[in-house]
Chain A
Amino acid sequence: MNVQELVPLALPRGRPLSCELCGGPAQLRCGACHVTYYCDVDHQKADWVSIHEKICQLLIPIRTSFPFFNSEKERKHGMEQLLHRQKHLVDFTHKVAQKFVFEGKHEEAIPAALHSLRFSIDTCGPDSVELVPAYLILAEASTGLGRLTQAEEYLSQAQWIVLKTSDCSNGIQSKLHRNLGLLYAAKGNFEESLYHLATDIYFASCAFGTHDISTSGGYFHMANVFFRQNKMDIADSLYTEVTDIWHAHFSRLIQVQSQTLTTLSCMLFIHLKCFILNIDEAQQAEASQVLNAILDIREQAPKQQPAKTANVVHALAMLHYLIFDFPKASHVTVTVCDPVIQDCIRIFTTKGAELRLHKLKLRDG
């Protein structure tokens, strides 16, 4: 992190510089890009940790004024390029913010999400559907931090935009309702929360199908609400559903992978790296969060259900295996000490273990 002091008096008139995070008068400047301003070191640090480190150099072409173009064609080209860059930044910042949220680092997610929102406003205008994801991430992070009024404000913005746009995609509506559901759950208003989560599941099913991993999130949150309402049987059945969805998803991935492996068994390990792309980071974070939560609940339940627990553990092991975290994969399977569960897993993972050995051999050879 490179800090440069500013002397506000020496700045040109009529162009007030404001802090990247809070909008207050700027005192500092990032020394690497020279285009980002902050009011104090804390804000710069927060921004740096969250997003600035990754986009520092990308900001330069966007924030510096245009060079002088000679022809209309060049000007047009320049504008297009700018737009393209901004769009790229919107996507990138959004992804980063989402990952932070999935990992539970809400504080760090907020600057990234703010950037995403700002760039989307720049590219699409203040009330277009493209802003909704940014608002949603902001709301989610705020909910995570316990700033419920703030979150509600963001969500109301998003909902208003969605209401105004008649042909809003199902995916976005599903996300909106999921966040609303989470917000009401955090407020303790379970009925409202269940309504929104149900709507979320409906939209997600319309968009992706009832047994898709995108739908599983809605089921998971709903299960949590029922769990808190102490309706254990419903929560249990929903948790099972979520586990099944992830389990099936990973199994499918592994199957595809093993097929490709057998056909390309002579290839070098480097080529295998491309399989990592099977699961993007956000998905991976979500999967591990959800599955670990379910595993905790299953282990602490008064009535043990070894088969179901084993299913969760197996899904987790597959996840670690898919992201090439071999020690952890075996660790997960070993930490479960119950002999019954161990047995179940052994049956489940025999095939997985073979694959794993196969892959390890490939890596060595």
Chain B
Amino acid sequence: MLSVYIRRPHCFYGQYTVPLQRQDLCFVWDWRHNWLKCWLKLNCLVSLNFFSFKFRIHLIKDKDAIDHYLSMNIKGLSKQEAAAYRNSYKKNICIDMLRQGYHKSFSELFTLIQKWNALREAAGPGSAIWQQKSLEEQPDKLDQLHHFLTRAEAAQRAEYYEEVYNNQLKLAYCFNNTEDKWLRNYFYEQCLSTAQLIKIDGGKKESEAHANMGLVNEEQGKSVHESAEHYETFHQLTLGRMWNDETADQMLENKEHQQAIKTLIKAFEMAKKGGDKKMEGEAAYCLGLAYHSAGEEQTAIIVINVTEAIEYLEKFVTVAKSAQLSRSLVDACISLGDIYNERGNYYKACEYFNQAFEAANTLTDLPLVDETKVYYGIAKAHNMMVAVNSHTDAADHVSIEYLLAWKENRSDMCTDPFTVGKTLVMKLFFLFPSVFFNEKKNDHTAV
């Protein structure tokens, strides 16, 4: 039994005693007045007079419990989270960076955005840049910037500059599209300044950075001088360094060859324009070498590459001769000789090895002299192998006489083409006896 006070404006007011069951009532807690309202099935509002007092006390207690329960178990939004929803994405990212102490990344990002806005303002409405979206409105780009910049800064704090460089380079690659050219260029510049701090890798990164800067300058159509400068620094740095790096991944190496050749050609052209003989020679030499090493690995394009390599190396030899660069002359001659040797042009090979030998003699560097000597000898031997083979193949009397005469008389004879390289042929005999045994057999059968 419940004593209820029924309010129903146009029907009846008054206190009634109504027999009620639980399911007849729909309880609603009125938060404003802190009392319980319930709806009867009669569809009228009932406020509990007599019982409500008890209910109220009970339920208020309950309400505290509910609050406690909610605060413990259901996480609402903290002030920070609420602020995060209210703020722009850019602001959130900035605050996030700063909280972790990445203040340099923050100021970099901030200045970049400001710079872009300034550029846009300067260009005015109607220009191309006016139509573009601001960096602030592109969360994915902001994310990328945030990720790499913070990592670069962490590495910088630990003075691990290679990591810094890598991150900056990645950023530059991220923005490698027409719209974000300015960002890419900016990060290339940063790369260059970082690369200058790296000392361990022997200037590889620096040369890479210089090459990138050369590219940027060239694209921007700045003075030829500036990009030429970058390319020249690049190639000076690469000289004799980059190619020694055999530990590097083979795949990467291959890729780099192609890139390097491209840049080297540019460097060579720049050097030609610059009119510096020495530079030009060095560039040509480098290019030759690059082709040479690339050609060894990729037989498919060997012909084109080797001929080009020869061309550049020969150019270099002539330049080196006139510029009195004995050391590089020796190197170039050896490479040239090597190439001719491989291609079977032994006569030319002999010639170049001979040149190398002479140049080495003037240098008074004994190991070098020995090396060139051996090369010369090998070339000579190869040269002679042709003659020996032709004689043995001919298998007529005169040839055999010739061979026998040579075998008996092992002194140096200027007239006889065999004798000069004979010692080396003997060496070859020990190395590849089968060749000679076959010859002997042929001899017997001929006899």
Q: Chain A residues in contact with chain B, CB under 8 A?
A: 192, 194-195, 197-199, 201-202, 205, 210-211, 219, 222, 226, 231, 233-234, 237-238, 241
Q: Is the CB of B95 within 8 A of A222?
A: no
Q: Is the CB of B101 within 8 A of A226?
A: yes
Q: Is the CB of B98 within 8 A of A201?
A: yes
CB distance from A169 to the nearest CB of B (A): 16
Q: Is the CB of B80 within 8 A of A201?
A: no
Instruction: Please indicate the chain A residues that have their CB under 8 angstroms from the CB of B98 in the complex.
Output: 194, 197-198, 201-202, 222
Q: Is the CB of B101 within 8 A of A202?
A: no
Q: Is the CB of B157 within 8 A of A201?
A: no
Q: Is the CB of A202 within 8 A of B103?
A: no
**B7 on the A face (CB < 8 A):** no
**Interchain CA distance A222-B103 in the complex, whole Å:** 10
Q: Is the CB of A237 within 8 A of B95?
A: no
**A205-B110, A211-B107 in contact; A231/B101 too (CB < 8 A)?**
yes
Instruction: Please indicate the chain A residues that have their CB under 8 angstroms from the CB of B157 in the complex.
Output: 233-234, 237
12 inter-chain pairs at a CB distance below 8 angstroms, sorted by A residue, are A194-B98, A195-B95, A198-B94, A198-B95, A201-B106, A202-B91, A205-B94, A210-B110, A210-B111, A211-B107, A219-B103, A222-B98
Interface string of B111-133 (1 = CB under 8 A from A): 10000000000000000000000
Q: Is the CB of A195 within 8 A of B80?
A: yes
**B99 on the A face (CB < 8 A):** yes
**Interchain CA distance A216-B91 in the complex, whole Å:** 19
Q: Is the CB of A202 within 8 A of B95?
A: yes
CB distance from B410 to the nearest CB of A (A): 74
Q: Which of B66-121 contact A (CB under 8 A)?
A: 80, 83, 91, 94-99, 101, 103-104, 106-107, 110-111
CB distance from A208 to the nearest CB of B (A): 12
Q: Is the CB of B95 within 8 A of A199?
A: yes
Instruction: Please indicate the chain B residues that have their CB under 8 angstroms from the CB of A202 in the complex.
Output: 91, 94-95, 98, 106
Interface string of B144-166 (1 = CB under 8 A from A): 00000000000001100000000
CB distance from B94 to the nearest CB of A (A): 5
CB distance from B247 to the nearest CB of A (A): 32
Q: Is the CB of B103 within 8 A of A237?
A: yes
Q: Is the CB of A194 within 8 A of B103?
A: no
Residue of B nearest to A236 (CB): B157
Instruction: Please indicate the chain A residues that have their CB under 8 angstroms from the CB of B94 in the complex.
Output: 198, 202, 205
The listed residue with most B CB atoms (<10 A of its CB), out of A197, A202, A205, A234, is A202
Partner of A210, one of B83, B91, B96, B106: B106
CB distance from A240 to the nearest CB of B (A): 10
14 further A-B contacts with Cβ under 8 Å, apart from A198-B96, A202-B95, A210-B110, are: A192-B80, A194-B98, A195-B80, A198-B97, A202-B98, A205-B106, A205-B107, A205-B110, A210-B107, A222-B98, A233-B157, A234-B101, A237-B157, A238-B101
The 6 residue pairs across chains A and B that have the minimum distance between CB atoms: A198-B98, A234-B101, A210-B107, A198-B95, A198-B99, A194-B99
Residue of B nearest to A201 (CB): B98
Residue of A nearest to B86 (CB): A163
Instruction: Please indicate the chain A residues that have their CB under 8 angstroms from the CB of B83 in the complex.
Output: 199
Q: Is the CB of B103 within 8 A of A233?
A: no
Instruction: Please indicate the chain B residues that have their CB under 8 angstroms from the CB of A211 in the complex.
Output: 107
**Interchain CA distance A105-B147 in the complex, whole Å:** 43
Q: Is the CB of B99 within 8 A of A195?
A: yes
**Interchain CA distance A226-B98 in the complex, whole Å:** 12
Residue of A nearest to B156 (CB): A237
CB distance from B187 to the nearest CB of A (A): 18
Instruction: Please indicate the chain B residues that have their CB under 8 angstroms from the CB of A194 in the complex.
Output: 98-99
CB distance from A2 to the nearest CB of B (A): 49
Residue of B nearest to A226 (CB): B101
**Interchain CA distance A237-B158 in the complex, whole Å:** 11
Q: Is the CB of A222 within 8 A of B101?
A: yes
Residue of A nearest to B109 (CB): A210
Instruction: Please indicate the chain B residues that have their CB under 8 angstroms from the CB of A234 in the complex.
Output: 101, 157
Residue of A nearest to B96 (CB): A198
Residue of A nearest to B80 (CB): A195
Instruction: Please indicate the chain B residues that have their CB under 8 angstroms from the CB of A195 in the complex.
Output: 80, 95, 99
Instruction: Please indicate the chain A residues that have their CB under 8 angstroms from the CB of B96 in the complex.
Output: 198
Instruction: Please indicate the chain A residues that have their CB under 8 angstroms from the CB of B103 in the complex.
Output: 201, 219, 222, 237-238, 241
Instruction: Please indicate the chain B residues that have their CB under 8 angstroms from the CB of A199 in the complex.
Output: 83, 95
Residue of B nearest to A210 (CB): B107
CB distance from A326 to the nearest CB of B (A): 35
Residue of B nearest to A218 (CB): B98
**Interchain CA distance A194-B96 in the complex, whole Å:** 10
CB distance from A333 to the nearest CB of B (A): 29
CB distance from B288 to the nearest CB of A (A): 46
**Interchain CA distance A237-B107 in the complex, whole Å:** 13
**A202-B91, A222-B98, A222-B101 in contact; A233/B110 too (CB < 8 A)?**
no
Instruction: Please indicate the chain B residues that have their CB under 8 angstroms from the CB of A219 in the complex.
Output: 103
CB distance from B91 to the nearest CB of A (A): 6
Residue of A nearest to B92 (CB): A202
CB distance from B336 to the nearest CB of A (A): 52
Residue of B nearest to A203 (CB): B91
Instruction: Please indicate the chain A residues that have their CB under 8 angstroms from the CB of B158 in the complex.
Output: 233
**Interchain CA distance A192-B81 in the complex, whole Å:** 12
**Interchain CA distance A197-B94 in the complex, whole Å:** 12
Instruction: Please indicate the chain A residues that have their CB under 8 angstroms from the CB of B106 in the complex.
Output: 201-202, 205, 210
Q: Is the CB of B104 within 8 A of A237?
A: yes
CB distance from B322 to the nearest CB of A (A): 47
**Interchain CA distance A197-B98 in the complex, whole Å:** 8
**Interchain CA distance A324-B96 in the complex, whole Å:** 42
Instruction: Please indicate the chain A residues that have their CB under 8 angstroms from the CB of B80 in the complex.
Output: 192, 195
Interface string of B165-197 (1 = CB under 8 A from A): 000000000000000000000000000000000
**Interchain CA distance A75-B235 in the complex, whole Å:** 84
Residue of A nearest to B98 (CB): A198
CB distance from A1 to the nearest CB of B (A): 45
Instruction: Please indicate the chain B residues that have their CB under 8 angstroms from the CB of A237 in the complex.
Output: 101, 103-104, 157
**Interchain CA distance A232-B30 in the complex, whole Å:** 56
Instruction: Please indicate the chain A residues that have their CB under 8 angstroms from the CB of B104 in the complex.
Output: 237, 241
Instruction: Please indicate the chain B residues that have their CB under 8 angstroms from the CB of A238 in the complex.
Output: 101, 103
**Interchain CA distance A198-B91 in the complex, whole Å:** 10
The listed residue with most B CB atoms (<10 A of its CB), out of A211, A226, A233, is A233
